[in-house]
A and B are shown apart, each in its own frame.
Chain A
Amino acid sequence: MDAIILQTLNGLDKGSAYALIALGLTLIFGTLGVVNFAHGALFMIGSFCAVTLSRILSYSYEIVDDTRTDFLGNPMKVDIPYVHSWFGESAGQTIIDWSVPLAILFAIPIMLFVGYVMERGLIKHFYKRPHADQILVTFGLAIVLQEVVKQIYGANPIPTPAPPAFTGSLDFGVWLGFDPNTIIYPYWRLVYFFFSAIVIAAVFAFLQFTTFGMVVRAGMADRETVGLLGIDIDKRFTMMFGIAAAVAGLAGVMYTPINSPNYHMGMDFLVLSFVVVVVGGMGSLPGAVLAGFLLGILQSFASMNWIKDILPGIDQIIIYLVAIAILLTRPRGLMGRKGVMED
């Protein structure tokens, strides 16, 4: 029982990331009809927003400490972050330590801008082209973006820790009546799950309860009619692309303490997220979220030792096996609508 609870918890953080990326993918597909293979790159750029802010906050000047020597026996050069000088060592270090949560504020305008530029600069020229063209151009864009990041930040993962307050772990089992140390779960992964839930709820509330959201939903259902009413639906859809980019970026920002950012991380998540979208049902926002969590948890269960003893390597293919099974029994996915991608 404890193993089942532990693997369920363990699947939640990965499922949260799948759900957030798949949500953005579905938003773009539902509004603009574009299959965006560059969406994983937006997740990666979000992660590097956190890295960038961390580096900005840690930007230092050098002093020479004559009382100490370096590894060559020369007087030690010590880097002093500017924020230590400006706010005092303790407050300055706290600011640096909290760079990941602070990066949320940093990343939102950047991701909105990146999304806007991506849509206006490239993707809008492919609206009337076949899906195959859209996939090729966005996949190419993803490769270009990851190579740019590789050139700037290098090929190696960059550790970006969570604030010290969240570096420990919660003895979750004690709450449920188990012995101590039976079900341990890191604080930051819980933070990530709750953060994802809030972002997902905010996106749904935005679409459900605002005038803007209602227009977007109406445009998703019947774009031409909304256009005939004199509403500039294209402009709103462009803004939705920016919002979808911001959602992917925020997912990336908060994921940095879980998995050190590297230039390839977007690709790692992209393929799985597309499977999530297909399983959830193309164009279905609730389907994307449901499938994200479902497949994340299933992947976690498939990593259990006794399952792998019976089926070696199952953890690497479980998502694809489930996708095949669901598409065979429900060709439109779990919550897919008739007519979407069936023309």
Chain B
Amino acid sequence: MSKSNFTRRGVLKTGAVAGAGLALPTYLSAAAHTGFTNAPGDSEVVLGFNVPQSGPYADEGADELRAFELAVEHLNGGGDGGMLNTFSSNVLDGTGILGREVKYVTGDTQTKSDAARASARSMIEKDGAIMISGGSSSGVAVAVQGLCQEAGVIFMAGLTHSNDTTGKDKKANGFRHFFNAYMSAAALAPVLQSLYGADRNAYHLTADYTWGWTQQESIAAATEAIGWNTVNNVLTPLAETDFSAYIAPVLNSGADVLVLNHYGGNMVNSLTNAVQFGLRDAMANGKQFEIVVPLYSELMARGAGANIVGIPGSQNWDWKIENQLGSRYAGTNAFVQSFGTKYGFPPSQAAQTCYAQTLLYADAVTRAGSFNPCAVAEALEGYEFDGLGNGPTLYRAGDHQCFKDVVVVRGKENPENEFDLVEIVEVTPAEQVTYDVDHPMFAGGALGECNPGA
């Protein structure tokens, strides 16, 4: 005699579990009828801004968020319009994106890849974000870019400087406006040669993650090409706050230059420690000991205070560049005016790249006439534009990297005010920092196919 295991309760349980399982990938099913993930309705479109609100890059994250808010305000027709008035493309008219009001949600990456992915996933799946932007850590950017590729949304990277973001980890759905470590090295090396000569011994302290590795590799290659010797490269944990144990051995290492491949709070702390240990006043190998910070920012200069005076580095952009170098960098003053009026201080380079990325996304959607990520990607690939503060810029189709001039700076000796901490030494033209798509430092990955999601 057979006995059935089916019960009423068992069937109900099984049904409930199966129903929940089928309903789980809501972002895929919701968008299925339109052919891509999180297709917006007729009235509004949601963008997701994923920035570090805690951790060593929290300063940059806060400024990125301000810039995103300002960009959304301008896209919706608020404020003075900022760079909409100077952007070489004139399709954005302050009525949102394709007639939809722009809404946004924010997340805290905590400068950790897992937290950043969880935050981005939540914005895509729960809030219906059709584009994710933000950054300040390349580890985070690479992780979130991968997620966006899988989910079928566009990732407009914020501050991410690792070669890998548009190198071995590049993705068809990901786009980077910010410059990269190779470009920093290419711009900085000739300036370092003229400042400190060709006979130098460099000691590198390097943040132990993708950005630090590629920056160290790029700077070492560029400085060795001008005759410098790399004495040592010591990796430091990203979460480190006291670098004294790493700084202490530098003076006795035979080095006469310390290269700090650190950024944000890391750089403020390591530079402060280096100054505390007397490196800036020391002599080594018969020369004045020097410190180099390849990736610079006004925010870091503010945190480091007087310690940063005279130290060279590179930037993606500087808020004084249009005033000092003219209308080639149009858009800068418009952005500084908008941002400064709203927040009371000038924007950082992190803010500028995030603002530009938001406008570039809106512009690409408008030119494509569609929110479909593949149509947007096609509109961005090979796109040449101007008027966003960096001069003529190309979004290269082969790797989704922007190519534009690089600003070489150093800490200003006698600042005129609390925001005038960095002086522009020179601007390196885009042609001098351009490289082939298959350059060895960027090899190992492929863009792949654009993923529209559903």
Which residues does A use to contact B, with CB under 8 Å?
2-3, 6-7, 10, 13-14, 68, 70-72, 76, 150, 154-157, 159, 161, 167-169, 171, 181-182, 184-186, 188-189, 258-260, 262, 264-265, 268, 299-300, 303-305, 308, 315-316
Given contact pairs A71-B419, A71-B420, A72-B340, A10 touches B244 in the complex (Cβ within 8 A) = yes
Bound-state Cα–Cα, A302 to B339, Å: 47
In the complex, chain A residues whose CB is within 8 Å of the CB of B26: none
In the complex, chain B residues whose CB is within 8 Å of the CB of A265: 241
Which residues does B use to contact A, with CB under 8 Å?
53-55, 58-59, 62, 232, 234, 237, 241-242, 244-246, 248-249, 251-253, 265, 268-269, 272, 276-278, 282-284, 303, 305, 319, 336-337, 340-341, 345-346, 416-417, 419-420
Q: Are B278 and A10 in contact (CB under 8 A)?
A: no
14 more A-B residue pairs beyond the given contacts A2-B252, A184-B251, with a C-beta to C-beta distance below 8 A: A7-B245, A7-B248, A14-B242, A71-B336, A154-B58, A168-B278, A171-B278, A181-B251, A181-B282, A184-B277, A188-B276, A259-B242, A265-B241, A299-B245
Q: Are A6 and B241 in contact (CB under 8 A)?
A: no
In the complex, chain B residues whose CB is within 8 Å of the CB of A68: 416-417
In the complex, chain B residues whose CB is within 8 Å of the CB of A76: 417
Cβ 8 A contact of B252, one of A13, A168, A169, A182: A182
In the complex, chain B residues whose CB is within 8 Å of the CB of A72: 336-337, 340-341
Bound-state Cα–Cα, A255 to B420, Å: 30
Bound-state Cα–Cα, A268 to B54, Å: 15
**Residue of B with least CB distance to A70:** B417
Bound-state Cα–Cα, A168 to B319, Å: 33
Q: Are B58 and A156 in contact (CB under 8 A)?
A: yes
Cβ 8 A contact of A159, one of B248, B305, B341: B305
Q: Are A3 and B252 in contact (CB under 8 A)?
A: yes
**Residue of B with least CB distance to A300:** B245
In the complex, chain A residues whose CB is within 8 Å of the CB of B232: 305
In the complex, chain A residues whose CB is within 8 Å of the CB of B253: 305
In angstroms, how far is the closest chain B Cβ from the Cβ of A153? 12
Q: Are A184 and B245 in contact (CB under 8 A)?
A: no
Q: Are B417 and A156 in contact (CB under 8 A)?
A: no
In angstroms, how far is the closest chain B Cβ from the Cβ of A274? 19
Bound-state Cα–Cα, A3 to B244, Å: 13
The A/B interface has a contact count, at CB < 8 Å, of 101
**Residue of B with least CB distance to A14:** B242
In angstroms, how far is the closest chain A Cβ from the Cβ of B342? 11
Bound-state Cα–Cα, A285 to B257, Å: 44
In angstroms, how far is the closest chain A Cβ from the Cβ of B134? 16
Given contact pairs A156-B58, A169-B276, A10 touches B241 in the complex (Cβ within 8 A) = no
**Residue of A with least CB distance to B244:** A10
Q: Are B284 and A259 in contact (CB under 8 A)?
A: no
Bound-state Cα–Cα, A157 to B299, Å: 13
Q: Are A6 and B248 in contact (CB under 8 A)?
A: yes
Q: Are B417 and A71 in contact (CB under 8 A)?
A: yes
In the complex, chain B residues whose CB is within 8 Å of the CB of A260: 241, 265, 268-269, 272
In the complex, chain A residues whose CB is within 8 Å of the CB of B417: 68, 70-71, 76
Q: Are A71 and B319 in contact (CB under 8 A)?
A: yes
In the complex, chain A residues whose CB is within 8 Å of the CB of B341: 72
Bound-state Cα–Cα, A75 to B282, Å: 41
Bound-state Cα–Cα, A309 to B421, Å: 38
In the complex, chain B residues whose CB is within 8 Å of the CB of A300: 245
In the complex, chain B residues whose CB is within 8 Å of the CB of A308: 234
Given contact pairs A155-B58, A159-B305, A305-B232, A182 touches B276 in the complex (Cβ within 8 A) = no
Bound-state Cα–Cα, A265 to B240, Å: 11
In the complex, chain B residues whose CB is within 8 Å of the CB of A259: 241-242, 269
Interface centre among B272, B276, B282, B283 (most CB of A within 10 A): B276
In the complex, chain B residues whose CB is within 8 Å of the CB of A150: 54
**Residue of B with least CB distance to A157:** B265
Q: Are A169 and B303 in contact (CB under 8 A)?
A: no
In the complex, chain B residues whose CB is within 8 Å of the CB of A2: 252
In the complex, chain A residues whose CB is within 8 Å of the CB of B244: 10, 13, 186, 189, 258
In angstroms, how far is the closest chain A Cβ from the Cβ of B111? 10
Given contact pairs A189-B244, A304-B249, A71 touches B340 in the complex (Cβ within 8 A) = yes
Q: Are B245 and A10 in contact (CB under 8 A)?
A: yes
Bound-state Cα–Cα, A154 to B340, Å: 21
Q: Are B234 and A305 in contact (CB under 8 A)?
A: yes
Bound-state Cα–Cα, A259 to B283, Å: 26
A-B contact pairs, 17 of them (CB 8 A): A2-B252, A70-B417, A71-B346, A71-B419, A72-B336, A72-B340, A72-B341, A154-B58, A155-B53, A159-B268, A169-B278, A184-B278, A188-B276, A259-B242, A260-B272, A264-B54, A268-B241
Interface centre among B234, B244, B346 (most CB of A within 10 A): B244
In the complex, chain B residues whose CB is within 8 Å of the CB of A70: 417
In the complex, chain B residues whose CB is within 8 Å of the CB of A182: 251-252
In angstroms, how far is the closest chain B Cβ from the Cβ of A162? 9
**Residue of A with least CB distance to B55:** A155
In the complex, chain B residues whose CB is within 8 Å of the CB of A185: 277
Bound-state Cα–Cα, A76 to B344, Å: 12
In the complex, chain A residues whose CB is within 8 Å of the CB of B419: 71
Bound-state Cα–Cα, A154 to B128, Å: 29
**Residue of B with least CB distance to A187:** B276
Bound-state Cα–Cα, A292 to B265, Å: 27
Bound-state Cα–Cα, A13 to B244, Å: 10
Bound-state Cα–Cα, A304 to B244, Å: 11
Cβ 8 A contact of A169, one of B268, B277, B336, B345: B277
In angstroms, how far is the closest chain A Cβ from the Cβ of B262? 14
**Residue of A with least CB distance to B232:** A305
In the complex, chain A residues whose CB is within 8 Å of the CB of B282: 181, 184
Q: Are A316 and B237 in contact (CB under 8 A)?
A: yes
Bound-state Cα–Cα, A299 to B246, Å: 12
In the complex, chain A residues whose CB is within 8 Å of the CB of B246: 303
In angstroms, how far is the closest chain B Cβ from the Cβ of A35? 25
In angstroms, how far is the closest chain B Cβ from the Cβ of A255? 10
In the complex, chain B residues whose CB is within 8 Å of the CB of A168: 278
Q: Are B265 and A156 in contact (CB under 8 A)?
A: yes
Bound-state Cα–Cα, A259 to B251, Å: 21
Cβ 8 A contact of A305, one of B58, B249, B336: B249
Bound-state Cα–Cα, A278 to B181, Å: 45
Bound-state Cα–Cα, A6 to B268, Å: 23
Q: Are A159 and B303 in contact (CB under 8 A)?
A: yes
Bound-state Cα–Cα, A316 to B240, Å: 10
